[in-house]
Amino acid sequence: MSGVEETGAGKSRAPLGRRVLLWAPLGLAAGAGVGFWAMLRGMRDGSYDPRGVPSALLGKPAPGFALPAVQGLSTPGFGPEALAAGGPVLLNFWASWCVPCVVEHPQLMALQRRGVKLFGVNYKDKPADAARFLAQHGNPFGALVADAEGRAGIDYGLYGVPETYLLDGRGIVRWRWAGPMMPDTVSAELEPLLRRYA
Segment 150-166, tens digit of pLDDT = 999 999 999 899 999 99
Q: Measured between alpha carbons, how far is 83 from 173 in angstroms, rounded to an integer? A: 10
Q: Measured between alpha carbons, how far is 176 from 90 in angstroms, rounded to an integer? A: 10
Helix or strand (DSSP H, E) at 108: helix 99-113
Pick from 131, 132, 90: nearest CA to 111 = 90
pLDDT value for 69: 97
Q: Measured between alpha carbons, how far is 196 from 66 in angstroms, rounded to an integer? A: 29
Q: What is the dihedral of CA 62, 67, 71, 75, to 10 degrees?
A: 40
Average pLDDT value over all residues in the chain: 85
Residue 33 has pLDDT above 90, yes or no: no
How confident is residue 1, by pLDDT bands cut at 50, 70 and 90?
A: very low
SS3 85: coil
Q: Quick check: 55 and 44 in contact, CB under 8 A?
A: no
How confident is residue 71, by pLDDT bands cut at 50, 70 and 90?
A: very high
pTM as predicted: 0.74
Q: Measured between alpha carbons, how far is 14 from 111 in angstroms, rounded to an integer? A: 66
